[in-house]
Amino acid sequence: MKTFQWKAKNEKILYYSTENMFYYVYKDFLTYIVIFGLSLFVAFIIYLVFENILFSMVIIFLINFVYILYKWYLHHKTYVIVTNKRILKFVRNGLFSEHMKELKLDQLNEVSSAKVGFVEKLFKLGNIKVVGKDKENVIWFKWIKYPQEVVLYISRLRDYVVFERPDYKLEDLIEFKPKKERK
């Protein structure tokens, strides 16, 4: 299980997920096409100057590889954590830009999920919306596996930790597992 820098001593990570990689491919498909087109153009110019087809092919590969590596890096640095105290989303927007959103469980007002597209239904993915009591603090989890189960888990966790048993023990809390992985 992952950990994070600001984790308190009495805090247990119960759910960890990254947004599905398909989200980045789907969201940035036009950008991929433009990057590929630009790499073809650069390779063509290099071919005209140096008359070396192998060097041009290497340039095409390198430009596209670097871009895909960059997207993979962003994907791995954007994740969601649910603990016994709060819900956090860490987002990496670029090489040097990142931010974090936090919502404490006792400030949680609403959790909902939606599957809106063919690709989401095909891969059992969905979006989760977590809304705070002030209605302005909203955290979106995009293209998360088993969204309905995660929503029910977060709701039950909040009810248990905040309302039913505020004096709970960390050992009482069970990490999230999808229904098909439970025994």
How does pLDDT run across 47-82, given as a tens digit for each residue? 899 888 888 888 889 988 998 899 888 888 889 999
Model confidence pLDDT, tens digit, residues 100-150? 999 999 999 999 999 878 878 888 899 999 999 998 899 999 889 899 999
Mean pLDDT across the chain, nearest whole number?
88
At 85 the pLDDT is: 94
pLDDT for residue 27: 80
> Quick one: pLDDT at residue 182?
77
* Nearby residues of 28 by Cβ (< 8 Å), 6 or more positions away: 71
| pLDDT value of position 183 | 66
Would you give the DSSP letter of residue 20? P
**H helices of 77-139, where?**
118-122
Single pTM value for the model: 0.81
